[in-house]
Structure formats: C-alpha cells, structure tokens
Structure 1
Amino acid sequence: MEIEVKVAVEALPPVAEKARQLGFEEVEPRHFEANTLYDFPGRPLSVAGCLLRVRECRGTALLTFKGRLVQHERYKVRPEKETVCESAESLRGILEGIGLRPFFRYEKFRTEFRAPSHTLLCLDEMPFGAYLELEGEPEGIEAVASALSIRPEAYIRRSYADLYGEHCRKLGKPFGDILFPPDHDRT
C-alpha cells in the first residue's frame, strides 16, 4: 500500500539542506524521470480509478500499477505494485502488443532521501513548480513533516496531473503532457 502526501515548496535546495542536517540519507541523487501512463481504448483503468505507468530512469524502466484510492482524510492511499524491467522499449512493446496505449506523459527531476524512520522524502522538480513527497507509514510521514516544519494543512493528496490542470486553468492555457521544453537539459 502506498501512503503519501505532496507539499508545494518555493525551492528545493533549502529542503535538501535541511534533510542532510537532520541526518537523512540521500539514496538517489538528482535524476531525470520520463513517465508514460497507459490504458486500453475507452480508458477503463482510468475510469476505475487505477493507473498503469512506465517510468524510464537511468537506463531502466519501472512498471507500476496503482489501484483505486482508499478514502483517507489526510493521506493519499492506494494499492501499488511495481517491477523493474531492463528495457523500456521491450516493455512498451509488450504493453502495446496487448492493446494498451500511451495517453499521458510527464517529466520530472527527482532527488530521494530516506529519513531515519525509513520515510521516503522525494524532491520533485516539475516543469510547473517544485514539490516534495513524503511516502511511508503515517507516523513517519508526520515525524518528517514536523522536522521539516511542514504543517498538515499544507498536505496535497492530488496527482501531478490534477495540479498541472489547475495550473493550466489559472494561466488560461490548454492542458497537455507535462514536459520540459525540448532544449531543456535532461541530465
């Protein structure tokens, strides 16, 4: 079961510095991730509140299935299963071979820290803003949030696609894939 919250932040470097001061271990240095969501024609997975994602990162691919959200007042909670694949190209071919089609893409840069409580702290640079994610058991999430001076009122349970949709509406621009400009350095 995945239990997480997001928090919008002004800048990520101060959060990373604070995490280091608190003794968090940097388990994944800053890296680029390209994510593609897949579904069958008619989008039955999406209609059911589920998600199938291929994440390409550092030469491998991670296939993730997320089940429907579990009702929770404070956290985003949902079943999650993942497996690593050596070849993103082969994985895409398998998915498309059984009738799945890509329908949404999003990119980000991510840095990952692990707190002494084993809670995961992810610092995400999105094309439309900076966010941190806390993932783990509720007690660990609360402990890390408190250590980082984050109040529960700042918790966000929405997806990046939802947040980007809101961002687009505010700017009066059409919603689409969440991508960095083509000339953006992805290393």
Structure 2
Amino acid sequence: MFEVETKIRVPDLPEIRSRLVRIGAGTPSVADQQDVYYNHPVRDFGRTDEALRVRYEGERCTLTYKGPKLATKGAKTREEFNLTVESGENLEEVLRRLGFVRSAEVRKHREEFALGTASVALDEVDGLGSFVEIEVMAHEAGAEAEKEIERIKGELGIEGSHIPQSYLELLKQ
C-alpha cells in the first residue's frame, strides 16, 4: 500500500473541526500518540529517507516501516507497512538487541476523522504546533489520491502550503 498525504500548518483547529462535522465526517477517534523512531545499525534512515517507528496509542502499539518518498508534484507518497504488536516494550527490546538505535520521539494529540476513502487528522504536536494531515491509502502511487486530497482541502477551506517533512524532520530542524 502507498500512503499519500499532505500536511499543512494551520492556526485554527476548532474551525476545521466544525467544518468536518458540518460535512458529515462523524465522530473522530481521539488519542495521544507517542512515536519512537529507530535508526538502522548500518544504514542511516535519515540519508535513505526511510523511517522505522514504534507508535504507542493507548493500549495499542504499531510498528511502521515507511519507504523513501516518491517524487510527486504535491502530496507526499511513500510505501508503508504496519504491524500491530502485543508488547511495544518487548518490540523495542528486540530492536535494541538487533542493533537498532532509538533516535527520536514525537508526541502529539490527534483527532482523526474518516471522510470517505480519506482520513483527516487534526494534530497538536509537542514543540511544533497545530497541523492538518489529509491521507489517502492507495494500491498504487498516482494522481487520483492527490486529486482527492486537494478536493478535501478545498471543501474544508484549508489554505497553506504542503509541508513535505515529517514531524520528526521538522523537530530536528
């Protein structure tokens, strides 16, 4: 699967939340997320544009691998694999024993709305501020997912430039 997403810094999450409810996005899932990033023992993921993340969200824990960003005009597109794990602590211990190095942590409060085939996340990221992420999962990289993102962005009245960097990259700047 490919993750196609756009991230936009916004000044007013409550207004966007109201618009989402008005257009029928329904009740969001709300969670505090802790993302712990690991670097490969012999390959620098910062240089290869990959990511290995352990996400804690309530009682859930997910291991995510993200491949390098693909060259596209607008939204960020990359391959993504997710695996739910029973114990994040055990997973992190296995990663450490295999030589992976804990490199960073990102904490955020997220409200995630389902909107058709897309998800819209309202994020408050510690140390960075407020953002909206619009994401479409697709079987192949292509313009259709980007068109859907632009349609939703317009419907919600979201203005601003696409930020191609991850929250991790923004925190490291």
Judge same fold: TM > 0.5, yes or no.
yes
User: 1:25 matched to which residue of 2?
Assistant: 26
* Counterpart secondary structure, 1:54: strand
Is there any run of 5+ residues in structure 2 with no aligned partner, and where?
A: 137-144
Question: Which gives a bigger RCO, structure 1 or 2 (Cα 8 Å, sep 6+)?
Answer: 2
TM-score by length of 2: 0.87
Aligned 8 A contact 2:5 2:76 in 1: yes
The 5-angstrom pairing of residues 50-129 of structure 1 reads 50-116=50-116, 118-127=117-126, 128-129=128-129
Amino acid at match of 2:58: R
User: 1:5 matched to which residue of 2?
Assistant: 6
User: 1:142 matched to which residue of 2?
Assistant: 150
**CA deviation profile, 1:156-180 (whole Å, cap 9, x unmatched):** 22211333344xxxxxxxxxxxxxx
* Counterpart secondary structure, 2:93: helix
Question: Distance between the aligned counterparts of 1:100 and 1:165, measured in 2?
Answer: 19
* Counterpart secondary structure, 1:157: coil
Amino acid at match of 2:118: T
Question: Distance between the aligned counterparts of 1:74 and 1:6, measured in 2?
Answer: 11
Aligned 8 A contact 2:108 2:124 in 1: yes
Counting aligned pairs with the same residue, the percent is 28
2:168 is the counterpart of 1:161: yes
Question: Distance between the aligned counterparts of 2:27 and 2:112, measured in 1?
Answer: 6
Aligned 8 A contact 2:7 2:163 in 1: yes
- RMSD (CA atoms): 1.6
* Counterpart secondary structure, 2:70: coil
Question: Distance between the aligned counterparts of 2:21 and 2:78, measured in 1?
Answer: 29
* Counterpart secondary structure, 2:131: strand
* Counterpart secondary structure, 2:27: strand
Aligned 8 A contact 2:74 2:146 in 1: no
Question: Distance between the aligned counterparts of 1:68 and 1:50, measured in 2?
Answer: 5
Question: Distance between the aligned counterparts of 1:48 and 1:162, measured in 2?
Answer: 13
